Amino acid sequence: MSVQVQTARGNLVVEPSESGFGARVTGVDLSRPLDGETPAAVKAAFARHGVISFPDQPLNLDALEAFTLQIGAFGEDPFIKPMEGRPNVLELRREPDEKATNFGAGWHADWSFQAQPPAATILRAEVVPPLGGDTLFADCAAAYEALSETMKAVLAPLRAVHSAARPYGTKGVFARETEKRTMQIITSPEAEKTQVHPLVRTHPVTGRKALFVSPVYTVGIEGMTEKEAGAILGFLFAHMTQPQFVYRHKWVKGTLLMWDNRCTIHFAEGGYDGHLRVMHRTTVAGETPV
């Protein structure tokens, strides 16, 4: 059921997906500063639905940065060179002749290896190919709630080990890459550092608990052997990404999408070889997971 919020500039309408995970927000112009009740309404929809899309938002980069700052301070984006003169904007660009794997092709929550991972990621579609390129999101709160009470008790004290080594380390996926890539990826020994977070984290706004692990960045569980951790993590990765927990976003030019890295993981599909795809991305700083 859609929800309408009266604002100074009209009605803001929130249309949730059937499951309630993911929603479409209309009746707001993000190219202008949000006023009155609008910022609170946007943040409430974001907290409730985890992934929210805003169609038909013809934003320039100044407006994209300004909207981001109305949600929160900029997060830090390591290992990818930002746009020239725009230290807080990444251009996710793939040219028609590129053969390298599309960026983001693995389930992850953005930068979970940081001490304070980003709360949100904001992505706007500038050039959308005629096929492929969907982004899939998994609801890690619903996945946690579907577990048995016994499994929840097992997971409660565990702390997961996160690292950027697999994609960005000196021997990682990008370091071994041989195909041309337009995006400038920075591989570094810094990526091989580790950070420990609760395996189950509590959302600071909603209070819901969510699984906070992903196949790309979670490399172990503190105090466990590799095989022990692998058994638990393998089960959780398969559990989290079951169809009942997944929302599929189909991109349209001019759409702005915002997702909550504290309770979701996502996967960028390919399937658009031979076509240009351009997206602009910012992140919103987060807090220490608890």
Any idea which residues carry the catalytic annotation? 108, 110, 266, 281
Task: Using alpha carbons, select from 160, 42, 122 the residue that is nearest to residue 282.
Answer: 122
36 — alpha (psi -120 to 50), left (phi > 0) or beta? left
Residues 212, 162, 247, 105, Cα dihedral to 10°: -170
Residue 114: CB atoms within 10 Å: 19
Asked whether 140 and 262 are in contact (CB, 8 A), the reply is no
Name every residue whose Cβ is closer than 8 Å to that of residue 18 and which is 6 or more positions away in sequence: none
Asked whether 49 and 21 are in contact (CB, 8 A), the reply is yes
